[in-house]
Amino acid sequence: MRDVVKVSSHQTAKIFVVVVVVMAIASVGFLMIVLDETPPGGDITTIEGGTYTQHPPITLRSNTEFANQAAEEGWKGNGTSSSPYLIENLWIRSDAECVDISDITVHFVVRNCFLSSTPELSADCAAISIYNSSNAYLESCVVHSNDDGMQFFLSRDCTVHNCTIEASCAGVNATESHDLRFENSEIRNCTYGAIIIGSVGVDLSHNRVCHNEWGVLAQFSDSCKLWNNTISENQEGVDVQILCTNWSIRYNTVLNNTGVGIRLGEQTGNISLVYNRLGWNEMSNAIDDGLDNKWDNGVNQGNYWCDYDGSGVYLVPGSAGSVDHYPLLLDESNATTVLAAWLQSLKADKQCHHTSTLCVISGLSLQRYI
């Protein structure tokens, strides 16, 4: 790629300066140059402050394949719950899946990896694909994808913890799966932050879901849990649609979305919503078109609303005619107090793991601990 230049001895000083400048420019552009090639494996590189070993994509189709590759590569563990296989500190770039797991039941951890998937938009793949598998634990990974970030299909008993995910389609996709946990992660700049379809027992807790078209979108899913998340600055916040039942939606901060904060669609039912903070969502803080959804605990606690007038009950917009019988006012004068009190309650319950982040609500700067 570079031209070979023949120089005389009296040009040495000038050429030395030029070489230094070129080397400086090359060092700045190193990440961009490297990202245009699939890592061959073995080399060490630094990306976004992390140090990784370059590695080709990983594809595993059985427990036997997993054991064989673990032995070849020296991965720690033996696949049991007490000693899972450990895949860590890798940088994998692919034009398809970076990590593709199918028909696996052994326990394994993917930790501190940088995964970049750049498929064609019609390829229908994900940076991490878990199919018909269980016992995966994905921790402290950075994921970039032109399609889905993480995709779970026909899988169960998997956890995503403390990951950062950006994707063109879904950040996390749980389809026809059971007992998945997504926690302490940041999901941003996606079409769907999290999409849950035909699944049971999906738990999203302590996540930051921001700058997506939809924060959370769900259909045909039962007994899911949405707790302690920040869902802000999306187009739609939480959109729970057809035949979603028996959900628990609590302790969430749903602010500054350009559409609806929390929307419960037709044929949703028996969803419990309490202790949420809903504010400054442009279209509406909430809409309920479902059946028998509960917006308070039936005793003395409801949700915080920025548009509550301070007296009586809060009528939730929508055809369901739902009522929060114990609403509380969330406004610029008490937002800091409300969120600080919420933090203390979570600490008391040992549910809060996040450090403070700066939140701007309607021009007001405050410390939000989420």
pLDDT tens digits, one per residue of 184-196: 999 999 999 999 9
pLDDT at 241 over 60: yes
Does residue 40 contact residue 47 with C-beta atoms inside 8 Å?
no
Q: For residue 243, what are the domain limits?
A: 210-370
Residue 62 lies inside a defined structural domain of this protein: yes
Q: Which residues of 208-237 are buried (b: 16+ CB within 10 A; e: fewer)?
A: bbbbbebbbbbbbbebbebbbbbbbbbbbb
Q: What's the pLDDT tens digit per position in 133-165?
A: 999 999 999 999 989 999 999 999 999 999 999
Residue 284 lies inside a defined structural domain of this protein: yes
Residue 195 lies inside a defined structural domain of this protein: no
Return the structure tokens found at 237.
């916040």
Same domain for 277 and 316?
yes
Return the structure tokens found at 323.
């009522």
Q: Is-above-0.85 flag for pTM?
A: no
CA distance 64 to 66: 5
Same domain for 338 and 294?
yes
Query: Across residues 73-89, what is the average pLDDT?
Result: 97
Does residue 331 contact residue 308 with C-beta atoms inside 8 Å?
no
Residue 18 lies inside a defined structural domain of this protein: no
Alpha helices in 78-126 (DSSP H): none
Query: Which of 162, 190, 218 is the last residue in one of the domains?
Result: 190
High-pLDDT (> 70) share of the chain, %: 76
High-pLDDT (> 90) share of the chain, %: 72
pLDDT at 234 over 60: yes
Query: Across residues 345-350, what is the average pLDDT?
Result: 46
Residue 119 lies inside a defined structural domain of this protein: yes
Same domain for 129 and 263?
no
Same domain for 339 and 226?
yes
Same domain for 229 and 361?
yes
Same domain for 160 and 218?
no
Same domain for 263 and 231?
yes
Does residue 47 contact residue 114 with C-beta atoms inside 8 Å?
yes
Could you give the number of structural domains in the chain?
A: 2
| Residue 125 confidence class, pLDDT cut points 50, 70, 90 | confident
pLDDT at 168 over 70: yes
CA distance 262 to 240: 8
Residue 368 lies inside a defined structural domain of this protein: yes
Please choose, from the candidates 52, 203, 224, 201, the residue with its C-alpha nearest in 3D space to the C-alpha of residue 140: 52
Does residue 370 contact residue 185 with C-beta atoms inside 8 Å?
no
